[in-house]
Structure formats: C-alpha cells, structure tokens
A = this chain, B = another copy of it.
Amino acid sequence: MGLDQGRRSIGARRNPDSADAILDAAEAVLVEAGYSGFSIEAVARRARAGKPTIYRWWPSKAALLFDVYQRLKRVDHPDTGNLEDDLVGFLKSLFSHWRETSSGSTFRSLIAEAQSDATVAAVLAEYTKGRHAHTGQMIERAKARGEVAADIDSTLVADLVASFAWTHLLTNRLDEDETTLRKAVGYLLKGIAADDAGSVGAAAVRRRRRRVIARTTR
C-alpha cells in the first residue's frame, strides 16, 4: 500500500522521461524554495510539464514527496558485532544522509504534511514501522550475542532511537557531533544491557567485535 495507489496501472504507458523530469524538478524545487515554496504548480513550471500530467500519476503532493524520498533513500544498518557501534553508525549514516542530500528536507516535509492529512499519516506510520524493523534487528542481534537482556522490548527501543532521530531532523540539529550521539546511545544501551554484561564486560565485547561490511538497505 502506498500513497500512489491512485495511479492508473492498467494499460498505462507512462512516459518515463517525463516522470523522471518531474521527480527531478520536485527535488530541485524542494531544495531551492523549501517546503513552503513546494507547490505542484512550481514543480510543473520547473519540469516544463503540465499540471494534469503530475496529477495523473501522483494523487497528492505527499505522494510526490514520498517518491522523491524513496528515490534518494540509502541508509546503512551496520553490523559490527557491537550494538553501540551499530546504533551510532546507523545514526551517523542517517544524519549525514539527511544532511547531505535533499532527503532530509523531503522527510521533514512528509512529516509536516502528515500533520494535516490523515492519509499521509497512515502511510508514513506504515513506512516507519517497516524502518523500525531494521533497527529492531540490530537489537535482536545484540540480544542473541547476550549483549542485551532477553526480555527487552526491541520494538520499543527502536522506537526510542527513531524518536531521537526524528526530533533532531525536525529541530534542525542534524549536525550533532559523534560524542553526543555516542553519549545518548550509551545511556540507552546501559539501560537495556544484559545483567552479566556490565561496564567492565562491555570493553571486552568491544575488543572482540567483528568488523563486518555495512549492509545498505534500499
């Protein structure tokens, strides 16, 4: 299910060039004019496309934003064998991706849009649920290694991590330095650590950690 459900799919022969031009233009407008300047008319002007063409394929502004975001999305969910490094790495990757591509503004706009459109809110909720699953897996892996207590609610922990990320995005604090990130993750991690993995053992775990090639999710 998605925001673009309204698109005609039977017998449609959409012009791919046109669609790309529109997505390119949407991205450009968002970067140059910001969310407040992001209108279908502006995108159409920029893409030298007609408004009906946009409306034919994207039922709403949010659907267009969503496609722009998904075209850009590329975030690491590292697997280093150590949860702290995994989480800090994930957040660093996410923040820099949000900062350095138009993906940050796009996602901010989507969240803002969701505040006035229940449909967008629903799609965004489902989407983030899927995202949380990836983070949850990082925590489950740590649980399997005995790094994290077995009775920990990994969904809730993933939610806490995501909350941290969202708030930093929304309040324009994506430039947070690694020290602060590590401190925040550290507080949380100590709170969910397995009882036999005290602060002494943690150093041992870190020494033991495998360096695994980061997995990149689409």
Q: State whether the Cβ of A9 lies closer than 8 Å to any Cβ in chain B.
A: no
Which residues of the partner chain B approach A152 to less than 8 Å between Cβ atoms?
A: 187
Q: For chain A, what secondary structure do more than half of its interface residues adopt (helix, strand, loop), or is it mixed? A: helix
Which residues of the partner chain B approach A183 to less than 8 Å between Cβ atoms?
A: 153, 156
Which residues of the partner chain B approach A36 to less than 8 Å between Cβ atoms?
A: 116-117
User: A180 contacts which of B156, B195, B199 (Cβ < 8 Å)?
Assistant: B156
Please measure, in the bound complex, the distance between the C-alpha atom of A144 and the C-alpha atom of B178, giving whole angstroms. 28
Which residues of the partner chain B approach A124 to less than 8 Å between Cβ atoms?
A: 171
Which residues of the partner chain B approach A191 to less than 8 Å between Cβ atoms?
A: 186-192
Which residues of the partner chain B approach A125 to less than 8 Å between Cβ atoms?
A: 171-172
Interface range on chain A: under 10, 10 to 19, 20 to 34, or 35 or more?
35 or more
Which residues of the partner chain B approach A128 to less than 8 Å between Cβ atoms?
A: 171
Please measure, in the bound complex, the distance between the C-alpha atom of A199 and the C-alpha atom of B188, giving whole angstroms. 16
Please measure, in the bound complex, the distance between the C-alpha atom of A198 and the C-alpha atom of B114, giving whole angstroms. 42
Please measure, in the bound complex, the distance between the C-alpha atom of A189 and the C-alpha atom of B172, giving whole angstroms. 27
Q: State whether the Cβ of A42 lies closer than 8 Å to any Cβ in chain B.
A: no
User: A115 contacts which of B111, B153, B157, B192 (Cβ < 8 Å)?
Assistant: B111
Could you show 19 A-B contacts with beta carbons less than 8 Å apart? A36-B116, A108-B115, A109-B115, A112-B115, A124-B171, A125-B172, A128-B171, A152-B187, A156-B183, A156-B187, A160-B164, A160-B184, A160-B188, A162-B167, A163-B163, A166-B170, A186-B191, A187-B192, A188-B188
- Residues of chain A having any CB pair with chain B under 8 Å: 34-36, 108-109, 111-112, 114-117, 121, 124-125, 128, 152-153, 156-157, 159-160, 162-164, 166-168, 170-172, 180, 183-184, 186-192, 195, 199
